[in-house]
Amino acid sequence: MRAVDLIIKKRDKLALTNDELEFLVQGYTQGTIPDYQMAAFAMAVTLNGMTHQETTDLTMAMAHSGEILDLSQAAPIVVDKHSTGGVGDKTTLTVAPLVAACGLPVGKMSGRGLGFSGGTIDKLESIPGIKLDLTTEEFIRQLKEIGIVLTGQSADLAPADGKLYALRDVTGTVESIPLIASSIMSKKIAAGAHAIVLDVKVGKGAFMPTLEKARELAEEMVAIGELSGRRVIAVLSPMDQPLGNAVGNALELREAVEMLHGVGPEDYRYHCLHLAAYMLILGQKAPDIETGLAMAERARQDGSGLQKFRELVIAQHGDVSTIDNLDELPKAKFIELVLAEKSGWVNSVNAREVGETSVQLGAGREKKGDPIDPAVGIMVYAKIGDQVQAGQTVFEIHANDYEKLIQAKERLKKAIEITQDRVERPPYFHGVIGL
Ligand code: URA
C-alpha cells in the first residue's frame, strides 16, 4: 500500500477501507509516513468529508496507536465527560466531585488551554503542589481508592492524535467534523471510560459556530460511541457568552469550588447539575433525569461533593488549605472595573473576545509551552438578558501587568453590547443527543 494512492482516493471523494486508514495512522505514528503526506490527507478529509464508517475506523485506528486503558479493574462502570472547549468552562471541577460523591467513579484525563478556550489542567495547577502527571498505575490505584482522578493526558494514549492535532493546527484542518470527532473520541476510548457525556459547545466562543454544525459533530461522536461499544450522549450547550462569571485559572477554580459550597451563578449551577445527572444516568446510578438532578443537588448541598474534591487534592499532593480558604489562591496585583456605558439590556457578551482578552492578560498561552499566570483573568458580571444601569460593573479585570490591564479594559468595553429593547435570556441547553 502507498500513502499517495490513499490521498488520491480521498481527493477523488472515495471512501477508504479500515485497512487503508490503519495503514495511514500506523505509518504516521511510526514516522514512515511524513507530515506532508498526512497534511495532504487531512486537507482531503477537510474538503471531502468521511462516511460514518470511515470516521469510526479512523477513530479506532488512532485509539489503538498507543495504550488502551482497561478501567474495568477499577470499577464496573466508569463515566467520563468531555467538553469541546469554551470560555469560563470549569464544569469538570464541579461535576466530577459531585458525581464521584454519588458513588459513581470518575477517572478523567484533561487537557490544557487551547487558543482562547481554557483547560482543566491549567485551572487545577492554581493549587500549589498538585500532581497532574499521574502514571497509569497511579491513575487506576486512585480511582479504586477514592473514586476520583483528574490528571493530564498521558502521551502513551492515542499518540497518533497528538501528532495529527499539532499538524492540523498549522495546516488549516482543525475545523473538520470527522477529524474533530475522531480526535476527541480516540482519546476518550483510549482512556478507558465505559460511557461518556459529551458537552458540545456552540456559538461565538466555540469551535462550532452554528447549531447545525454542532449537532452534526455531536451525532458523529454518538455514532462512533455506538459502533465502538461505548454508551455516549451529547449535550448541545450555548457558548456565545462565557459560562458562569469567572474566566481565568484561579478565578475559575474558585467559582467551581464555591459551587461545591452551594453558591454561584445560575447558568453554571444548571449546567453542572444537568451534566452530573446525565453522567449518573449513563453510570446506572439514576434511572432518570429528575433523580440524577436530585442526587447531584444533594451532593452539593450536604458537602459530600466538596469533600470528594478535597480527597482528590490531598491524594494528588495539592495544598488543601487553598481549597479550605479560597483567599489563599493566587491573586493578581491589580483589580480594575469596567462599567456599563449606558443603561439597557445586555444583548451580547462576546465569549471569544473575553477568552482572548484573558489569554492576553496571561491566563492562556500565545504559543505552545508559554508559562501561564494563574492569578489573572476576568469576572463577567453582566450576562445576556440582564438589565443594567449606566455605571454598573460589567467586568472586573484581574491583572499583574499594568499595560495589559489598560489594553484589556479597551477590549472589554467593546465585548459587551447593551440595547434599549428588552432581551430574552438564552436557553441553557439546545438539546441532548443519544439519550
Ligand atoms: N478537541 C480535540 O481534542 N480535538 C479536536 O480536534 C478539537 C477539539
Ordered by start, the domain boundaries in the chain are: 3-63, 71-325, 331-419
pLDDT tens-digit map of 288-297? 999 999 999 9
Residues 419 and 344: beta-carbon distance below 8 Å: yes
Residue nearest to atom 6 of ligand 1 (CA): 180
Listing DSSP states for 260-281 in one string gives HTT---HHHHHHHHHHHHHHHH
Model confidence at 119, pLDDT cuts 50, 70, 90, reads confident
How long is the chain? 435
Q: Which helix (H) or strand (E) holds 101?
A: helix 91-101
**Cell matching residue 276:** 452530573
Q: For residue 183, indicate whether it is catalytic.
A: yes
Q: Above 80 in pLDDT, residue 329?
A: yes
Q: What is the pTM of this model?
A: 0.92
Question: d(Cα 113, Cα 116) in Å, to the nearest integer?
Answer: 7
**To test ligand 1's pocket by mutation, which of 108, 120, 182, 184 has the most ligand atoms within 8 angstroms of CB?**
184
Q: What are phi and psi of 249, to 5 degrees?
A: -65, -60
161 a catalytic residue:
yes
Are 190 and 67 within 8 A, CB to CB? yes
The total of other beta-carbon atoms located within 10 Å of residue 406's CB is 14
What span, in angstroms and rounded, lies between the C-alpha atoms of 375 and 172? 32
User: Tell me, what's the pLDDT at 118?
Assistant: 79
pLDDT in the model for residue 156: 86
CATH architecture of 331-419: Alpha-Beta Complex (3.90)
Whether pLDDT at 435 is above 90: no
The residues pairing with 338 across neighbouring beta strands, listed in sequence order, are 395
**Alpha-carbon distances of 63 from 185, 198, 234, rounded to whole Å:** 8, 17, 20
Residue whose CA is closest, atom 3 of ligand 1?
Answer: 184
Ligand 1 pocket (Cβ < 6 Å) reads 84-85, 165, 179-180, 183-184, 207
pLDDT band at 368 (very low <50, low <70, confident <90, very high): low
C-alpha 84 to ligand 1 mean position (Å): 7
Kindly state the cell numbers that stand for 375.
492569578
HSE-up of residue 285 (Cα within 13 Å, Cβ side): 25
β pairing state of 387-388 and 344-349: antiparallel
Pocket test for ligand 1, best of 59, 81, 114 (most atoms within 8 A of CB): 114
- Please state the rounded mean pLDDT for residues 330-336: 97
Cα–Cα distance for residue pair 247/206, rounded to 1 Å: 15
Distance 152 CA to ligand 1 centre (A): 15
Strand ranges inside 102-220, DSSP E: 106-110, 148-152, 195-202
Please work out, in degrees rounded to the nearest 5, the angle formed at the alpha carbon of residue 216 by the alpha carbons of 98 and 212: 100
Architecture of domain 71-325: 3-Layer(aba) Sandwich (3.40)
Res. 307: pLDDT tops 70: yes
Q: Is the pLDDT at 369 greater than 90, yes or no? A: no
Domain 3-63, second-level architecture: Up-down Bundle (1.20)
Lowest mean pLDDT of 49-53, 82-86, 157-161, 172-176, name the range.
172-176
